[in-house]
Amino acid sequence: MQTEFCKQLGVEAPIFAFTHCRDVVVEVSKAGGIGVLGAVGFTAEQLKEELDWIDAHIGDHIYGVDTAIPQKYEGMDKTSPEELVAMLQDAIPEQHRKFAEKMLTDAGVPAWPEGDDEVTLSFSAIQAQALVDEALTRPKCRMIVNALGTPPEDVIKQVQDSGRLIGALAGRLKHGIAHKNAGLDFVVCQGGEGGGHAGEVSSMVLWPQMIDAIAPLPVLAAGGIGNGRQMLAAMSMGAQGVWMGSRWLISNEAQAEPAQRDSYKSATSEDTIRSCSFTGKTARMLKNDWTDAWEREDTPDPLPMPLQGYLTFDAVRRTHRYAGSGDCQKIAFNPVGQVVGQMNEESSCRDIMYELLTEYADALDRVNHLSSAG
Measure the CA angle with vertex 49, ends 43 and 55; round to 5°: 130
Residues 65 and 86 in one domain: no
Question: Domain range spanning residue 128?
Answer: 1-73+123-255
* Alpha-carbon Rg for the chain in angstroms: 20
Residues 95 and 165 in one domain: no
Measure the CA angle with vertex 191, ends 190 and 196; round to 5°: 65
Eight-class DSSP state of 246? G
Q: Give, for 242, the enclosing helix (H) or strand (E).
A: strand 241-244
Residues 293 and 332 in one domain: yes
pLDDT in tens, the chain (374 residues): 789 999 999 999 999 999 999 999 999 999 999 999 999 888 889 999 999 999 999 999 999 999 988 665 444 555 566 777 778 888 999 999 999 999 999 999 999 998 766 655 556 667 788 899 999 999 999 999 999 899 999 999 999 999 999 999 999 999 999 999 999 999 999 999 999 988 899 999 999 999 999 999 999 999 999 999 999 999 999 999 999 999 999 999 999 999 999 999 999 999 999 999 998 989 999 999 999 999 999 999 999 888 898 899 899 999 999 999 999 999 999 999 999 999 999 999 999 999 999 999 999 999 999 988 76
Residues 148 and 272 in one domain: no
Is 27 a domain residue?
yes
From residue 32, how far is each of 127, 226, 228, 359 by CA, in Å?
32, 17, 15, 16
- The bridge status of strand 165-170 relative to strand 141-146 is parallel
Number of structural domains found in the chain = 2
Is 179 a domain residue?
yes
Q: Where does a domain end: 255, 275, 308?
A: 255
